[in-house]
Amino acid sequence: MLQLFAGERLLREYSVALGGNPVGDKMQEGDRRTPEGRYVLDWRNDASSFYRSIHISYPAPEDVRAAAAKGLHPGGMIMIHGQPNYFGWRPF
């Protein structure tokens, strides 16, 4: 469940699909996990081939520290998005 807050006020909740390895918090680049925690939606990719592609502010400083303590790179460029733009009309 994705929860969208403005300050401490819950604005909306969305059902979501997670990364290909969804059990547990994201620890390193390429682990196919989804970051868990409080992040900021900080910019939108209007040129994306996915519906409403929005970047999240992962990794936060604590994510960087946790990965570094294990000798790992936390990854980055995490986007949340809808279906591919062509999904509704693509011939199969």
65 phi/psi in degrees, rounded to 5: -65, -45
Amino acid at 13: E
Look up residue 69 and give its two tokens.
């303590």
Looking at per-residue pLDDT, the higher value among 54 and 22 belongs to: 54
DSSP-assigned letter for residue 15: -
DSSP-assigned letter for residue 63: H
pLDDT digits (tens, 9 = 90+) for 24-83: 888 899 999 989 888 999 999 999 998 889 999 999 999 999 999 999 999 999 998 888
**8 Å CB contact between 28 and 72:** yes
Count of CA atoms in the C-beta half-sphere (13 A) of 78: 24
pTM above 0.85, yes or no: no
